Amino acid sequence: MLLGGFCLAKKMIAIDLDGTLLNTESQIPEENKAAIKRAIDADMLVSISTGRATFDVKSLVGDDLDIPIIASNGGTIHDVGYKLLNTITFEKELAKEIATFLIEQDIYFEVYTETELLSPYNGEEKLQAELDKVMSANPDESLEKLWVGAMSQFKQSGIRFVPNIDHIFTDENTIFKILVFSFDLQNLAKVYKAISQNTKIAVTSSGEHILEILPEKSGKGYAVTMLAEKYGIQKEDIYAVGDSPNDISMFEVAGNGVAMKNAMTELMEIATHVTKTNDELGVAYFIDKLIAGEQEELRRIEEGV
């Protein structure tokens, strides 16, 4: 119920997008949208919490769901009515230093700004060349599976390729996140080892081939806590739903961590509940269990669901 713009919510549900609310076609099934509306009608606060950029989330959610949006892994928080509540941005010189290092490593990356995802590489061309090398060295790998993972990244709106990083780190651009994608796991591990030593940044992941580089205090957990405090919702009434390591921080601040059945091991290990996969409408399934007071049926036990 909304009263004077303030939501008297009983519970909060923070939902990841890729691998969670979205299906493998990178779409929000209508059944999930309908379940979110049922949760709102039941006086629950429902928010998106994603590594995607805010403008990309808006294009996915559309106008029929007016809910808070945590984007760029906590880089921005927008409330109901798309009211900006908070931003956490990169120090520009530090971000440029990281980008310069990534170019030296010849690895694909995107820089998340307020309006675009900017990269000095043509992603599809670069990753296709990289994939050819990986497949020649590992012929047993699934070409289709690897390429689908890359293409889900390029389905995001707002990606633009620029001649060099000087076109990225301008006075006009605010920097929220740097995303690194590579099929070469050894090179990715090398980059992670080098970058993670910098105490001014945080590094997380939303997939096996992805690194997400954030400002030190950014992260989904921080943003979920801020939003919950605004609405007076206690930790035990927060339900975080996700599938990837970048969801760990919000699982840590929520009283209830709901892992998708397709979730990565790191997240599954700390989940309190497990729902169905993203292609089995796991979000809708969980929400309806929560509304009915039957969420304990999803309580995680050693054997699984």
The answer to whether 52 touches 28, Cβ cutoff 8 Å, is: no
Q: What are the residues whose beta carbons fall under 8 Å from the beta carbon of 287, sequence distance 6 or more?
A: 13, 35, 36, 38, 39
* 16 a catalytic residue: yes
Q: Is 7 helix (H, G, I), strand (E, B) or coil?
A: strand
How far, in Å, CA of 19 to CA of 210, rounded? 14
Report which DSSP code applies to 21. Answer: I
Q: Which of 16, 18, 56, 247 is catalytic?
A: 16
Closest by Cα among 30, 110, 14 to 70: 14
How far, in Å, CA of 301 to CA of 205, rounded? 26
Is 171 exposed, middle or buried, given 0-12, 13-18 or 19+ CB atoms closer than 10 A?
A: exposed
How far, in Å, CA of 129 to CA of 256, rounded? 42
**Active-site residue list:** 16
